[in-house]
Structure 1
């Protein structure tokens, strides 16, 4: 076997990952022969396999687009920028075809045997002493041809690998599209269910709002009744005040009458004393007049006592009426205050219940809307 054939045989046993010189190993997943060592570099990096070698060659030729760190799986990259990659596939295939056509032309130029023979003949014509050098150059040309053939074979394999990756990416894109369509259909179903639930909740909230309006109207009617009761109580208190004023006026009149009676009684006493003094000289007539005066004085005293008792009774009646009026006013005021407090509590309870119901409806609507927006997205 020639030296060139041995070199090609040794090259065929090495990993074809760019820059790797380790021997090839079988595919750990299938056990089939592989063109790669299936190991990562000692300093770190991706495992040498078909996908990573393809990306490394693209990066080496400057055709690889910028990628995020850690995205080494071609399927993941295809998912990340599927539409862009699919739109770039025709151009990439065209570039690859042009590249392979150039490689084939280079191989043809490098493996041109006639050109090699021409060079040998020229070398023989130039000098017979350079025959050995010409043979060495011929051997180098043969090795170059072998290397070119190996490169062409590797390029063909790379093309096959690129086609396989393209098929995988296309299948993955179809699967992703089917999954996306299924998710969209499921999202539409969830959206329809959410819309139906939201419509039901909205109808329930409208019913609660209508009931709240009716409750507010009833509360307003009750408040109006309470105000009317308060006005009636105020009018009754005014009448009580007028009655008390009349009693006071009557008491004042009674006091004036009593004072007048006292004045008259005092005048009578003074007249009786005057008569008694005038009748001192006339004893017989004075006794009769004195007896009459005593009788009149007793009657006047009884009248005074009766007037005094009437005044005390009137005062007692007035005090009782005042106490009763005050008690009735306190009872009315307390009842009115309790009615107002109860109405206020009822109104506050209704407002609190309605506010909580409204807040709950708004919260449920707010929670339903972001879920709907998320499903749509």
Structure 2
């Protein structure tokens, strides 16, 4: 059995392997593309793990290399046009019923293994779909599933080839039996001719005996060759079955390692998702603090406006009261000074001037208080507008790395920071 006929006769790094005494011996690794006929160097490694075995041509992969080697082996084993098919016919082999039955059982086991692997990968894909990095997990699952399907298909192909070999051996056995039957028929014909010619020539007896011995020797030689072919077919079938078992174990180990690696990647993705969730919670808390500060500033401004309105009303009431009191005092003085007008004119005039001056001073104080209250109200409204604009700017622009913490509102110079 040639390595070109076996799609799995390559080591784990896709390098060609040779078969010596029924055992598989891997060739040393090479930096050249292992695709048949390609002389280009292998693609550079862009990730940790096993280095690439093919060049950068996307058409050069494991499946294409197997198909190429299979086509080459078929062309080499095909007889030339017009030639003798018997010249390239492989040695006659006898089928082994137990080997064919074992091949059927192995094919059934491989199909069951492929179904189990497909179900496991589907479940793993559904688990990975619920996480954040879905595209990369799906790509890893698809790559593992494609590799597993390729290996299982190749194992099934080997089982099918073993069955085809058994059928070919059965056909060859039929041909050998036909040859033996022809030899027996020739022997019988020689005996008949010997009996007919016995009376004519005495020397024909010796010729007949010689022919019988030669025919018997030919039959024995054919049977010995057939037995040798059966033994060789038995050894090859046993070797093929052992190699398929070893390949299945290797595929199972590789799939287990791939599953462990994907599990580690899944856990890392879960940890990253938890970190993102914690950062999101912190941002939401900062947003709530900013909203509370904005509401508190608005409440303070509203209270200042109310206080200014009350101060303005108090100033107006005080002005009206002072004017009313002054009018009452003036009326009282005028009534009291009616009989003493001449004597108290100077005194009344002086007192009136003093009262007017005091009223003017009180009015000036009230006017200053009103202006100051109005100024404070305008300043508070401007502060509210500035803080609202800064809050909108802080919410619209994310804070750069190394800058202010998220949620901190910048404080203009000359103004105390809002706690």
* TM-score relative to the length of structure 1: 0.46
**Bigger relative CO (Cα 8 Å, ≥ 6 apart):** 1
Computing the radius of gyration from Cα coordinates, the structure with the larger value is 1
* TM-score relative to the length of structure 2: 0.43
